[in-house]
Amino acid sequence: MPRPFLVRGRAVPLARYLAEEQIEGLVACSCIGNEVTIDLGDTRILVTLADVGGVVGLTFHMVQDGPAKARTWTRRLSSDTAPRELAASIARDVRTLERELAPLRRRPPEGTARRPAP
């Protein structure tokens, strides 16, 4: 007898479309429930999706194992936005973030003293 599978959450249908997006440096991506986690080489981005009053709210939270400070930002899209467009919007924000972080990876921000390795 086949076992039934229960799939819930707004993020689940995004997996297929996020896999088709060109995200530079992508190490891993998971779409579980109402959360998307995107892992880049030194950066983790958690995207929480919420349906509120005819709008899909995307809340991004980024942390980096480097000089960049953690940051949070939001996007709002119409609740009838298709999964393909939601995935494209998420990927666009991730690509923009990657461009912003690129100079920090090449050199630390001013005022950040790095200790030489022992």
Each residue's pLDDT tens digit, 71-116: 999 999 998 999 999 999 999 999 999 999 888 777 655 555 555 5
pLDDT of residue 66: 82
The stretch 7-24 carries a mean pLDDT of 84
pLDDT of residue 109: 54
Indicate the pLDDT class of residue 15, thresholds 50, 70 and 90.
Answer: confident
pLDDT of residue 68: 86
pLDDT of residue 7: 56
C-beta separation of 83 from 14 below 8 A: yes
Q: For a pLDDT cut of 70, what percent of the chain falls above it?
A: 83
The stretch 1-16 carries a mean pLDDT of 70
Distance between CA 20 and CA 111 in Å, rounded?
40
Distance between CA 86 and CA 60 in Å, rounded?
13
pLDDT averaged over the chain? 85
Q: Where are the beta strands (DSSP E) in the chain?
A: 26-32, 35-40, 43-52, 55-64, 71-78
Among 5-14, 38-47, 99-108, where is mean pLDDT lowest? 5-14
How many other CB atoms sit within 10 Å of the CB of residue 29?
20
The span from the first CA to the last CA of the chain, in angstroms, equals 62
